[in-house]
Amino acid sequence: MSSAAKMTMAQAINTALRDAMTADESVVVFGEDVGPLGGVFRVTDGLTADFGEQRCFDTPLAESGIIGLAIGMAMNGMRPVVEMQFDAFAYPAFEQITSHLAKMANRTRGRVRLPVVVRVPYAGGIGGVEHHCDSSEGYYAHTPGLTVVAPATNEDAYGLLRAAIESPDPVIFLEPKKHYFAPEEVDTTRAVAPIGRAVVRRSGADATLIAYGPSVPVALAAAELAASEGHDLGVVDLRSIVPFDDETVMAEVRRTGRAVVVAEAQGFASVASEIAARVAEQCFHYLEAPVRRVTGFDIPYPPPKLEQHHLPSVERILDAVDDLQWDPA
Residues annotated as catalytic are 132
Contact status: 24 vs other proteins (CB under 8 A): no
CB of residue 295 to other proteins, shortest distance in Å: 22
How far apart, in Å, are the Cα atoms of 133 and each of 111, 157, 163, 178, 242?
37, 19, 26, 10, 21
Residue from 41, 180, 244, 301 binding other proteins (CB under 8 A): 244
Angle at 64 between CA 59 and CA 70, to 5 degrees: 65
Examine residue 248 and tell whether it contacts other proteins (CB under 8 A): no
Q: Which is nearer to other proteins, 73 or 321 (CB)?
A: 73
Please, are residues 47 and 21 in contact by the beta-carbon 8 Å criterion?
yes
**Residue 167 found at the interface with other proteins (CB under 8 A):** yes
Point out which residues pair with 120 in neighbouring strands: 174
Near other proteins by CB under 8 A: residue from 104, 160, 220, 253: 104
Q: For residue 149, count CB atoms less than 10 angstroms from its CB and return exposed for 0-12, middle for 13-18, buried for 19 or more.
A: buried
Cα distance between residue 175 and residue 205, in whole Å: 30
Closer residue to other proteins in complex, CB, 106/325:
106
**Which CB sits closer to other proteins, 97 or 186?**
97
- The Cα 281–Cα 213 span in angstroms is 24
Q: How far apart are CA 250 and CA 25, in angstroms?
A: 40
Rounded Cα distance between 230 and 263, Å, is 24
What does the per-residue mask of binding to other proteins show for 64-103, with x meaning CB under 8 A? Answer: xx-xxxxxxxxxxxx-------------x--xx--xx--x
To other proteins, the closest distance from the beta carbon of 250 in angstroms equals: 11
Q: Does 105 bind other proteins (CB under 8 A)?
A: yes
Instruction: Check binding of 162 to other proteins (CB under 8 A).
Output: no
Q: Which residues of 196-220 are buried (b: 16+ CB within 10 A; e: fewer)?
A: bebbebbebebbbbbbbbbbbbbbb
Strands 207-211 and 259-266: parallel
Q: Is 243 in the site for other proteins (CB under 8 A)?
A: yes
CB of 53 to other proteins, least distance (A): 10
Q: Residue 36, interface with other proteins (CB under 8 A)? A: no
62 binds other proteins (CB under 8 A): yes
| Residues found near other proteins in the complex (CB under 8 A) | 28, 54, 59-60, 62, 64-65, 67-78, 92, 95-96, 99-100, 103-113, 144-145, 147, 167-169, 196, 242-244, 246-247
